[in-house]
Amino acid sequence: MTTRIDTRFAELKRQGRSAFVTFLMAGDPDPATALEIITALPKAGADIIEIGMPFTDPMADGPSIQAAGLRALKAGMTLKKTLAMVGEFRKGDNATPLVLMGYYNPIYIYGVDKFLVDAKSAGVDGLIIVDLPPEEDAELCLPAMKAGLNFIRLATPTTDDRRLPAVLANTSGFVYYVSITGITGSASADTAVVGEAVARIKRHTKLPVCVGFGIRTPEAARGIAETADGAVVGTALVDALAGSLDAEGKATAKTVRAVADLVSALAQGVRGAKQAAE
Amino acid sequence: MNPNLPNSFRSGPDDTGHFGNFGGRFVAETLMPLILELEKAYAAAKADPAFHAEMNGYLKHYVGRPSPLYFAERLTGHLGGAKIYFKREELNHTGSHKVNNVLGQIMVARRMGKKRIIAETGAGQHGVATATLCARFGLECIVYMGAVDVARQAPNVFRMETLGARVIPVQSGTRTLKDAMNEALRDWVTNVHDTFYCIGTVAGPHPYPMMVRDFQSIIGVETRAQMQEAEGRLPDSLVACIGGGSNAIGLFHPFLDDPGVEIFGVEAAGHGLTQLHAASIAGGRAGVLHGNRTYLLMDDDGQIQDAHSISAGLDYPGIGPEHSWLYETKRVTYLSATDDEALAAFQLLSRQEGIIPALETAHAIAKVMELAPKRPRDHLMVVNLSGRGDKDIPQVAEILKGQKI
């Protein structure tokens, strides 16, 4: 099985650079603006797009992404509409990998089998589900693999060498290394420490390793991209989006531009990185 | 005989933390290694006689156990049916059953070498118990409490601060117990290396529902012996209120395999089951939140809904996973009481027995008022008097202001 994610990493390897991965919340600040933003991302320099599935109780997320989820829910976003948005995006872009990221309950309630069929046909390539560790693989990970979707696992500073094989066993697409113990947007990643962690994970797997949580600036993105196969930025983009809204939290003429401009700057940072030694 | 019924209702959870389809370990990877470490540490403690000896010493001399099993003679006469006994958990140090669990967890935390304790609290009873034992053992204590609950449970906030705990009002989401739990989980993910999360009820990822139940089961174990002594036999029925369900499972668990004992759990019906309420079993469905699969209040998109109860301790949109399983296997009957019914019971018990119950506990009393009159005079009914109502006096005074009491 080869997904758009596998194809994209193979291309980037030929180009000799790391991936820039963006995260934004589906339906934030409203479904129409969110689609416009996501459509603008590849041109601005995003290599892989993560789309958050809004949830009322995101226990691994900091205040920025919590607020993004609540804005989306208030604007009427649902999992069904998130899948429809992916379908719309795919009408104009059949190459950029799309990964849905979120929590299990909305998928469980949608129905796992139905969700996998609908996600695949909408054009989703992978899933990152924060509250499904390997101990719960039977719930969604194994069915997702069977359905042809990558199940991308989070590895963290607390995932030691003894546990890594279990975490990597059913992981595909790439490994998402969470660079800090903490919630999204809470602290800055230390490039040297992250470099060692990425090297440690790479001793256990041939999969690309992307790093997220705690990357906010083009400089930080460049630093991470020099040691990892990809740098993920979420909170900084969500903050740029939030900063462009009016007093009622509604989109303004500046909203799409605010996000796209920051994505361009961050993408420049990633593209300026020296390629990590293999 | 239903072939799907288990041989025993007391053997759960399985090795992966499941009670039937419920329970499990739905947490972020950052927490998973620690949860596995906790599972091992608890198993070792459970098998260590020295752990139990030390705990029993504190239960007796610090908590004040055993709590009495008291014959509520005036309430029995007033209701004119079943003979009603109270298991007096409100007489424990700190004023509720919560201390049984906190003592156990703090002792496990000490064995694991953890110096920083975090907890979530709704009514503040679990927060007070945690602050108390942290003071006793010289541990740092941080309690997350929804900002709405901070306002309606002011006496308990002051108690926690007096005991040296830091109370952090939670402003996210609905600013009640569920959000306090989210925020405690966020703290835990951030400070996983030195922090022990002392969960207040039989919920969360495995091994918490099992561990908390084990620590609370002393309620039912004592009740069995005390009822044998008082009446020479087992009770005919048990009644307890349920938010997450720790006082209830503590009373119920030792009786689950006695088919002659009818068991009733009472959820909070708030303004009524067709309006805002906190009855996860009566008005919810199975889903995944806070580390476990269980009955939850949610909408059709799987978004968690706001719970409402007059009682901050029951104001939670979920219930412990073992209760979900006991509901589906039909071993326990789940009822619900509204805010108004609980308020009436609060007043009745105060007047009839000279015991001011916590608003949480008043929900159980409200259903006793319905169940007891329909049962014969030789029927023995045990109610878990899970907490005392001192903390609720300002709130109830505000509600009843202007009404003729």
Other beta carbons within 10 angstroms of residue B404's beta carbon come to 4
B405: pLDDT strictly greater than 70: no
Tell me which chain A residue has its CA closest to the CA of residue B286.
Answer: A109
Please judge whether B29 and A158 are an interchain contact, meaning their C-beta atoms are less than 8 angstroms apart: yes
Tell me which chain B residue has its CA closest to the CA of residue A77.
Answer: B301
C-alpha closest to that of B247 among B297, B196, B270, B213: B213
Contact A180, A187 (CB under 8 A): yes
Instruction: Provide the ipTM.
Output: 0.95
Token pair belonging to A232: 């993920």
Q: What is the pLDDT of residues B214-259, one digit of tens each?
A: 999 999 999 999 999 999 999 999 999 999 999 999 999 999 999 9
Q: What is the pLDDT of residues B273-289, one digit of tens each?
A: 999 999 999 999 999 99
C-alpha closest to that of B349 among B254, B270, B241, B193: B241
For the question of residue A139 being annotated catalytic, the response is no
Contact A216, A182 (CB under 8 A): no
pLDDT of residue B210: 98
In B46-112, DSSP assigns E strands to 69-71, 83-87
pLDDT of residue B153: 86
For the question of residue A28 being annotated catalytic, the response is no
Model-level pTM?
0.96
Using CA atoms, how far residue B223 sits from A273, B70, B231, in Å, is 68, 10, 11
Q: Which of A55, A60, A107 sits opposite B303 (nearest CB)?
A: A55
Q: What is the pLDDT of residues B68-80, one digit of tens each?
A: 999 999 999 999 9
| DSSP secondary structure string for all residues of B156-182 | HHHHHHHTTPEEEEE-STTSSHHHHHH
Pseudo-torsion of CA A27, B147, B313, B96, nearest 10°?
150
Interface of A with B (CB under 8 A): 54-60, 62-63, 66, 70, 73, 78-80, 103-110, 130-136, 153-160, 163, 167, 178, 181-183, 186
Q: How many residues does chain A have?
A: 278
Name every chain B residue with its beta carbon within 8 A of the beta carbon of A58: 182
> Which amino acid is located at B261 in the chain?
V
Interface of B with A (CB under 8 A): 16, 24-34, 172-173, 178-179, 182, 185-186, 189-193, 287-291, 293, 296, 298, 300-304
Our measurement of the distance from residue A268's CA atom to the centroid of its chain's CA atoms, rounded to an integer in Å, reads 18
In chain A the first and final C-alpha atoms are separated, in Å, by: 25
Tell me which chain B residue has its CA closest to the CA of residue A129.
Answer: B28
The arithmetic mean of pLDDT across residues B72-90, rounded, is: 98
Please judge whether B302 and A107 are an interchain contact, meaning their C-beta atoms are less than 8 angstroms apart: yes
Categorize the per-residue pLDDT at B2 as very low, low, confident or very high, splitting at 50, 70 and 90: low
The arithmetic mean of pLDDT across residues B14-41, rounded, is: 96
Token pair belonging to B359: 């608003």
Contact B125, B99 (CB under 8 A): no
